[in-house]
Structure 1
C-alpha cells in the first residue's frame, strides 16, 4: 500500500515538475495577477540570464519524468533536489503564500530519496 501511495505522489509531483519545466520553454501559463512585487522582480532577474530558465526547465522535465518511473525514481529525486531547493528558498524569501505546495513537493522528493537510500550507497562506499 505504501508503494502505491508513493507512486501516486511521485506521479503528481513529477507531472507538476514537467508542467513547470515545459512552461519555461513555451510560456503557456500566465503569471498570477496577485504575485508579490518581490517575486516579480526575482523572476525578471532570472529571465535576464538567458541560459538559466532553459536549464532549470530541462532539469524539471527530466527530473519529473525520472521521478514518475519507479526504476529511475532515485535518479529523478537527485536531479530535482537542487531545483526544489531553489524553489523553497525563493518562496521563503519572496512569496510565502506559495510555500506550502513547495514543502509538500519537497516532502515527496525526500520520501522518494528515503525509500531508495540503498541505491545511493555505491556512490559513497570505497
Structure 2
C-alpha cells in the first residue's frame, strides 16, 4: 500500500507542478471551451496577479506533496486549489469531475493520513 501511496503522491505532485509552470510559461495548448467559460477566464485575466499566485501555489504545493516529510503541508497548501477545481467542474464542466474527483480524493486521503500532524492546531 505504501508504494501505491508514493506513486499517487508523486503523480499528484507532478500534475500540480506542471499546472503551476504552465501558468507562467503557457506551453500547454488551450482546448476549445464554451463562450461562457472563456468569459470567465478573460475576467480572471484582468486580475493580473491572480494566475501567477495560483501557479505559485500549485508549484509549491506540488513540490511539497511529492516528499513524504512535507506532504502534510503540501496537502493543506493545495487543498484550496483542488476545492476550486471541483467547484469549477461541478458548475461549468461536469464531465471534468471524472478527472478532478480522484485528485480531490487523493488530497483528502493525504490530509486524513497526516491528521495527527494537524491536531496541535486545533487544541
After TM superposition, the score normalised by the length of structure 1 is: 0.93
Structure having greater relative contact order (Cα 8 Å, sep ≥ 6): 1
Once the two structures are TM-superposed, the CA of residue 38 in structure 1 deviates from its matched residue by 2.2
- Structural mapping, 1:21-100, within 5 Å: 21-33=20-32, 35-100=33-98
1:14-56 C-alpha deviation (Å, 9 max, x unpaired)? 11101001000000011012x2322222211111110000000
Give unmatched runs, 5+ long, in structure 1: none
Aligned to 1:6: 5
Q: Secondary structure at the match of 1:50?
A: coil
**CA distance, structure 1, for counterparts of residue 34 and residue 104 of structure 2:** 22
Q: Which moved more, 1:60-69 or 1:87-96?
A: 87-96
Aligned to 1:111: 109
Aligned to 2:14: 15
After TM superposition, the score normalised by the length of structure 2 is: 0.95
